[in-house]
Structure 1
Amino acid sequence: MNFRDIEYFAVLAEHGHVGRAAEALGLSQPALSVSLRRLEQSMNAKLCKRTPKGIELTDVGQVLLSQVRRLRQTREDVMREIADLSEGRAGNLRIGAHAGLIDSLLGPACCTLLKSAPNVTLSVSVESSDAALAAIREGRLDLGLNVMQSPPHPDIVQEHLLDDTIVVFAAAGHRLAKRRQVTLDDLEDERWTATAFSAPALPLLSLALQDRGRKPLRYVVQTSSLTFRDQLVANTELLGTSSKRLLKQIKARHRVVELPIRGFNVKRSVGVFYRKDAYLSPAARQFISILKTTAKIIAKEQ
């Protein structure tokens, strides 16, 4: 088996077209076809089939592509580890975080890391839980900071950091804002704003209403921006959900209140994620330790 043929196959699979793959590799189409036939002969299996639009992988081809991607990740991990050891390089840490954790947890932890390891560089993105997990599995992120999954993905390690309580909040002038207690029935005709980070609170709340024979939640605005959500809730009759911890920060910027909803008790756990077989640089291990220390401080302040 020729490793160059395997790499050519991966490029072909990713492009889905012999001509485009050959152009990307700087090969002629006949040369790429010869490479594919040689690989198929060495494996004694058909790896792809031609279609009017290009090529499609067979089941065997799909398995091979999956393993090739794993090999690529392993190769990249090895190169990063060797560079860290041979050059004393701190490297770049790629982090994907839940939007609600940027200010309270990620920000302070990054400040601490950069003070203690000034040569480290950071690439930080805001990611939903599903997007972060996919990026970690594919080697595009080193660490994820998000709501923990149950059950956890078999290829992902989750380390617990802290627990959150989810609450419903409204503008200070909302009709429900002055009540000592709000029932689920009171929420039936309310309008809501939701974000990509609202799970699991809103789906659970909607199910609770339907179980009581009520209408499900009515989402008027869906957004990926927590700042935009907060502005909408503070200046309209829309309701939203937030962690109790984050709501303290929202109250510092807007006139909003927590609604005391009877029978609504949703908690979630926040953790740091990384690929089970991934190389963790010294900077990544140090950052995980800093996250745990920062999370303990936050938990004491709640």
Structure 2
Amino acid sequence: MNIELRDLRYFEIIAGLGHLGKAAEVLCRSQPALTKCIQRLEGEVGAALFERKGRGLQLTAVGREFQARAAKVRAASDRYLNDMRDFVAGSVGKVRVGCGPITADYLLPIICNLVLGHEPGISLEVTINTNYVLKDLIRQDRLDMIVGVVTGDDEFRHQAFIDDTVVVAAGRHHPIFRRGKVRLEQLPDYKWILPNAMVGSRKWLDDVFLAHDLPRPHAHIETNSLPSIHDVIGSTDLLCFLSRLTLAHPKTRGLLREVRLRETTMVRQLGITYPRGSLMPATARLIELLDRHHPEHIGVVPSEPGLAS
């Protein structure tokens, strides 16, 4: 049927008042205009919807059934249009969030609590991987934003929230802690577990050794998620390069310890990365929440006492 929602609304008012003149006053329309509305509806239905009763109108049997169905159509229409308004306002919808291993532990709980507390109509779809993989997923339109390490490229937009320090670390009983002051040139002699060569922190660490004319650390084990295998690091004689946030996280249970060395202390920023151009409303709303609330929720893990600066 080719029926306009406006005509359904007029029909409901006419049926409720049972009088064409009163309906015209309420709707601020002329009686001839409402008569044409009834005629259009009756033409689509193929039967009379009203019959005369004194100076007013009453519904026919078909009209009563049409009224019940029209009410459902109008209610569904109002509900879906209201949902659309909520969607445009960013209070409903799905946000596809990519997280690095560090931010999955540290920032993701904060994001989830912000959404649940302020916009429970927003749902999250979370993917955990390395930053370079997540950026490729944004390019493929399979992610809306990344919560992780913020880089300086111009391809995406970035907002940094906190500083993060990445250091060389090992299990608490690693032999390196028995030799007193550690020097950079001693580190290539040890076995390492490292991110793969595409990860930014690995590139930075390699460059440090190359700048000092030293061989790069040899990775006996490579992984895309160092924080997830802290038990392996803690139970072996492997050095690693990971965030102090991981060292301070309860899940490490004091297994790991920092190898204090100025040259291998990297400071980076954590925050959000998202595409340039227009965003889905729910994504824009989540970015707004993070921008507004992160100072009161996100703290910086302090440096270990005695670290050379």
Alignment TM-score, normalising by the size of structure 1: 0.64
Answer yes or no: is the 8 Å Cα contact 2:193–2:233 preserved in 1. Answer: yes
Deviations 1:176-233 (A, max 9, x none): 1245532111102111112359843333332332343332211011122334431221
1:126 counterpart letter in structure 2: I
Change (3 A) 1:211 1:93: closer
Answer yes or no: is the 8 Å Cα contact 2:110–2:297 preserved in 1. Answer: no
Change (3 A) 1:287 1:237: same
Q: Which runs of 5+ in 2 are unaligned?
A: 1-80, 303-309
Structure 1 segment 263-282 matched on structure 2, within 5 A: 263-281=263-281
Partner of 2:283 in structure 1? Answer: 284
Larger radius of gyration: 2
Partner of 2:100 in structure 1? Answer: 98
Change (3 A) 1:132 1:201: closer
Partner of 1:220 in structure 2? Answer: 220
Question: Counterparts of 2:177 and 2:295 in 1: how far apart (Å)?
Answer: 31
State the percentage of identical aligned residues: 23
Q: Does 1:248 align with 2:248?
A: yes
Deviations 1:91-141 (A, max 9, x none): 111101111101211112212211322222110001322222222233211
Partner of 1:175 in structure 2? Answer: 175
1:107 counterpart letter in structure 2: P
1:161 match: secondary structure:
strand
Q: Does 1:194 align with 2:194?
A: yes
1:135 counterpart letter in structure 2: L
Which of these residues, 138, 146, 149, is aligned with residue 151 of structure 2?
149
Answer yes or no: is the 8 Å Cα contact 1:128–1:197 preserved in 2. Answer: no
Q: Which runs of 5+ in 1 are unaligned?
A: 1-80
2:287 counterpart letter in structure 1: I
Question: Counterparts of 1:87 and 1:216 in 2: how far apart (Å)?
Answer: 51
Partner of 2:126 in structure 1? Answer: 124
Question: Counterparts of 1:111 and 1:101 in 2: how far apart (Å)?
Answer: 14
Change (3 A) 1:82 1:134: farther
Answer yes or no: is the 8 Å Cα contact 2:130–2:199 preserved in 1. Answer: no
Question: Counterparts of 2:197 and 2:150 in 1: how far apart (Å)?
Answer: 12
Shift of 1:162: 1.4
Partner of 1:3 in structure 2? Answer: none
2:151 match: secondary structure:
coil
Deviations 1:243-263 (A, max 9, x none): 122210167424211000142
Alignment TM-score, normalising by the size of structure 2: 0.63
1:233 match: secondary structure:
helix
1:299 match: secondary structure:
coil
Answer yes or no: is the 8 Å Cα contact 1:98–1:128 preserved in 2. Answer: yes
CA RMSD in angstroms comes to 2.8
Question: Counterparts of 2:140 and 2:83 in 1: how far apart (Å)?
Answer: 21
